[in-house]
Chains A and B, each alone.
Chain A
Amino acid sequence: EAQVTQNPRYLITVTGKKLTVTCSQNMNHEYMSWYRQDPGLGLRQIYYSMNVEVTDKGDVPEGYKVSRKEKRNFPLILESPSPNQTSLYFCASTRTGENTEAFFGQGTRLTVV
């Protein structure tokens, strides 16, 4: 089954404690991205990757890092989380092409206290 898998689904952490949210896709997609969802703001792109070892900032990259060492994996790293990063996070993957839809993971609800 084609899917994007995120872990963990829920996470409560304290300010400043480094964390990683993993994302893996089994569709051999080139393009992967991370979004955060906040009430009234929809989804906003944090980082994206066009292929292995190619990553770039999205609209709200501050406080986040990513890596793309393998095509299937695209982890999101918060080196020093702060309460304003409390949000619902989604990983997405897309086959390269103008008319292709994105596939989303189940989401990770992060709370930073």
Chain B
Amino acid sequence: AQSVAQPEDQVNVAEGNPLTVKCTYSVSGNPYLFWYVQYPNRGLQFLLKYITGDNLVKGSYGFEAEFNKSQTSFHLKKPSALVSDSALYFCAVRDFSGGYNKLIFGAGTRLAVHP
């Protein structure tokens, strides 16, 4: 069965420092991977996706993610964190089993960026 793991409940980083939010996956076949962000009292917003091609994917708000097939990881990164990046981040993988597609989400990682 497809699954996604986000090993950290919370990540703390100082403003201006690089940030990494970790995600590992388990899928049969080619992975279709996504990152979403949830700001307080808001819905989930799409950040970026990996379907095929370049292992470094660039997305919204200066975020990027690195796909690593050998480590089955898809970590979210940003070179310089902002306080406004503080939010809940979800990694997801598309599941095609059963003849339909759905997203399987990780438990989420709360990112706290301190001034």
**Chain A 74-96 interface 0/1 with B at a Cβ cutoff of 8 Å (1 = within):** 00000000000000001010100
A105 touches B43 (CB 8 A): yes
A selection of 26 A-B contacts at a CB cut-off of 8 Å is: A4-B43, A31-B101, A33-B102, A40-B107, A41-B107, A42-B90, A42-B106, A43-B44, A43-B103, A45-B103, A50-B100, A56-B100, A58-B102, A90-B44, A92-B44, A98-B51, A98-B101, A99-B51, A101-B34, A101-B46, A102-B44, A102-B103, A104-B43, A105-B43, A107-B42, A107-B43
| B22 at interface by CB-CB < 8 Å | no
Interface size on B, residues (CB 8 A): 25
Complexed CA–CA distance, A105 and B36 (Å): 13
| A64 at interface by CB-CB < 8 Å | no
Query: What is the interface of chain A mostly: helix, strand, loop, or mixed?
Result: strand
**Chain B 4-48 interface 0/1 with A at a Cβ cutoff of 8 Å (1 = within):** 100001000000000000000000000010101000011111100
| In the complex, chain B residues whose CB is within 8 Å of the CB of A35 | 105
**Chain A 41-62 interface 0/1 with B at a Cβ cutoff of 8 Å (1 = within):** 1111100101000001010000
